Amino acid sequence: MGLIYQSFISFALLIAMFLVASFFAYIYSIKRQNYLLLWTAAWFVFGLHYIFPAVPSSLENALTHWLFGLSAVLFFLGAQIYAQRKPWKLLALLVVSLLGLWAAANAANKFSVSAVIPASLLYLAVADMIAKPNGSDTWTLVAGGAILALAAVPAPALPSRQPDS
């Protein structure tokens, strides 16, 4: 019974995110601003991450976490353009690749910290950048430092994930 409700909630959130992505696509068609295009893609990818939680397994879990991180990077690039800063395209590609490896390692129980944690820090950096478009890169530095700190923590020092049964 719980799986039915979880599937329904995931489906409803998927539809809601696609509606938000459609709204941003419409706004992009009117304004033609690149940050709106990136935010449209981010909302679409964020919606995709709701597809897989209905059927839990290690592979779907890794893909869901990676999609969550990918949408964070797309939001971050859009926020940089919105704040009239040069987007960090190469660094974004590196971060997306590292988040993919991180999610895969977490799913294989090789690394015990979920890739959702550094992706969440990127969302905080996006919120800070949008709130203060001409301000400092405080959250950017905090997010980068926290990602490095989490990566430096040895896996045995952290609680391990329970294997899927």
pLDDT of residue 159: 44
Structural tokens at position 30: 């009117």
Assess contact for 101 and 146: CB atoms under 8 A: no
Residues of the chain with pLDDT under 50: 1, 145, 147-163, 165
Domain for residue 113, yes or no?
Answer: yes
Please say whether the beta carbons of 56 and 105 come within 8 A. no
Cβ neighbours of 165 (radius 10 Å): 3
Please check whether residue 143 lies inside any domain of the structure.
yes
What residue type is assigned to position 28 of the chain?
Y
Residue 164, domain member (yes or no)? no
DSSP string, 100-132: HHHHHHHHTTS--S-THHHHHHHHHHHHHHHH-
Residue 163 lies in a domain: no
Q: In the prediction, which pLDDT does 140 show?
A: 53
pLDDT of 74 reads 93
Output the pLDDT for position 97.
Answer: 92
Asked if residue 29 is part of any domain, the answer here is yes
Tokens 């696509």, located at residue: 25
**Cβ-contact 35, 84 below 8 angstroms:** no
Specify if 162 maps to a domain: no
Residues 18-41 have pLDDT tens digits of 888 889 899 899 999 999 999 999
What percentage of the chain has pLDDT greater than the value 70? 73
The predicted pLDDT at position 139 comes to 52
- With a CB cutoff of 8 Å and minimum separation 6, the contacts of 78 are 34, 35, 36, 37, 38, 39, 42
Q: Is residue 67 part of a domain?
A: yes
Number of folded domains in the chain? 1
Q: Is residue 84 part of a domain?
A: yes
pLDDT of residue 115: 82
In the prediction, which pLDDT does 150 show?
46
Look up residue 56 and give its DSSP letter.
Answer: -
State the residue range of the domain holding 90.
2-157
